Amino acid sequence: MFLPLLYGLRAENIPVGTQEWLTLMDALSAGLHGSSLLRFYHLSRACLIKSENHFDAFDRVFARVFEGVEGQFDVTDDVLEWLKDPKNFPQLSPEELAALERLSNDELMKRFLDTLAEQTERHDGGDRWVGTGGRSPFGHGGVHPTGIRVGGPGKSRSAMKVAEERRFRDYRTDVALDVRQIKVALKRLRRLTRTGRASELDLDETIDETCKNAGEIELVFRPPRRNNLRLLLLMDVGGTMDPHYEIVSRLLTALHEEHGLRELRTYYFHNCVYDCLYDSGRMYRADAVSTSQVMHTLDERWKLLVVGDAAMHPAELLEPHGGIDPRVTTATPGIVWLNRLAGYFDRSVWLNPESESLWQGTQSNVLIRRLFPMFHLSVDGIADAVDTLVRSRT
């Protein structure tokens, strides 16, 4: 009888597998739902949904599949019209609040349906009808410890139920969140390979060799699996990147706390990479490091991640001595250096903190995207960039 829920979730592209569904069936068999639709809702969501971005889609499917199980009610246009222009409500004393009747869920819904069927006019400041102000459990602008808010905004946040049109939105995964969320996306950077001394027992090979040896035990060892990923991080700093200081700082923090990386090196540049990179964002000359030297000290195991808005005057990218700082300009155009970086590293990506809707309007952005796969600096964008860095070549 619950299969429409499963098929409805899959129709909404919610990834629900057989294992999750069997887990829910086991939970139902154990009586964890308590013969309550509300508890079944929470139980099924906990068993079937693995990401909060699917909560709203789950709610829509659940409401569609189990529509009418707890009865239906319709708030008519007349009632909603009466609830406009609420009346002011005097504050109740603690004694008056304590004296208000407290209702259970079932009692509240039954009385609400009965009240809707009987009410024929507007009421304000009362203690029974659907209205504004007062001590009634139904309406808004008043006070009741177990009430249903109908129309109007929530103020004291004490409503037990809300009878209004759904105006929620799906949780988004394309927004910049905290360090923890970024670290979750970066977990995919782990690229395990077997390196070093053969110190780990290979059980399968040991069994095979022992069988071939007519039962004479032949131990086979192999190198342990370790993350062998090395990451070079180049970050644009200053100017148009100032508004993105916080999110880039979170990314850098998450990378430094990602213990799975074998090695991480970070350098700064302004607008575009030229002959020199810098050890600090202050970009003092004493911090300058030759870009060629950085490249030539790294081997094929290194991956490149560039963070920047890719927004600059075309001359900065295409012309000799085009750098915005006339004191440190060089004869090699920035596009040449970017081309060298993209060609040198086996894997490279670009993370852009600007909204994707702005990318097309910038000539420099269009040119850079011809060299680097570019992703938005958000949780989803980081995850896609990491997949590009570590996936196997086809």
Alpha-carbon distance of 180 to 196, in angstroms, equals 32
Q: What is the pLDDT of residue 393?
A: 47
Q: What residue numbers bound the domain in which 29 lies?
A: 3-65
Task: Quote the pLDDT of residue 288.
Answer: 87
Cβ neighbourhood burial of 287 (10 Å; 0-12, 13-18, 19+): middle
- Domain end, chosen from 50, 65, 80, is at 65
Angle formed by the axes of helices 379-390 and 179-186, nearest 10°: 20
CATH number of residue 184's parent domain: 3.40.50
Q: 10 Å Cβ neighbour count for 381?
A: 21
The pLDDT value recorded for residue 167 is: 47
Query: What contacts 24+ positions apart, CB below 8 Å, involve 328-337?
Result: 328/274, 328/276, 328/285, 329/274, 330/274, 330/275, 332/274, 332/275, 334/271, 334/272, 334/273, 334/274, 335/367, 337/272, 337/273, 337/274, 337/275, 337/291
Q: How many Å separate Cα 256 from the centre of its chain?
A: 20
Q: Are residues 206 and 250 in the same domain?
A: no
The low-confidence residues of the chain, meaning pLDDT below 50, are 70-72, 157, 166-177, 192, 392-394
Identify the pLDDT of residue 222: 77
**Phi, psi for residue 189 in degrees, rounded to 5:** -70, -10
385 and 236 in a common domain: yes
Please name every residue paired with 288 in a beta bridge, in sequence order, or none if there are none: 278
Quote the CA–CA distance of 169 and 172 in Å, as a whole number.
Answer: 8
For the chain, the distance separating the N- and C-terminal CA atoms, rounded to the nearest angstrom, is: 44
In this structure, is residue 28 part of a structural domain?
A: yes
One domain for residues 184 and 257: yes
48 and 132 belong to one structural domain: no
Half-sphere exposure of 81 (CA within 13 A, CB side): 5
Is residue 174 in a domain?
no
Same domain as 254, residue 361:
yes
Same domain, 252 and 381: yes
pLDDT reported for residue 316: 86
Q: Residue 172 has what pLDDT?
A: 45
Amino acid at 205: E
Q: What is the pLDDT of residue 55?
A: 81
How many domains would you assign to the chain? Answer: 4
What three-state secondary structure class fits 300?
coil
Is there a single domain that holds both residue 104 and residue 187? no
Helix (H) or strand (E) holding 50: none
Q: Among 179, 200, 166, 137, which Cα is nearest to 57's? A: 166
Give the list of residues 6+ apart from residue 256 with CB closer than 8 angstroms, or none: 264
Distance CA 263, CA 279 (A): 16
> CA separation (Å) from 229 to 2, 267, 391?
46, 18, 12
Q: Is residue 73 part of a domain?
A: no
Q: Which residues pair with 194 in a beta bridge?
A: 225
Q: How many residues does the chain have?
A: 394
- Domain assignment present for residue 262? The answer is yes
Do 144 and 261 reside in the same domain of the chain? no
Residue 238 and residue 270: Cα distance in Å, rounded?
Answer: 7
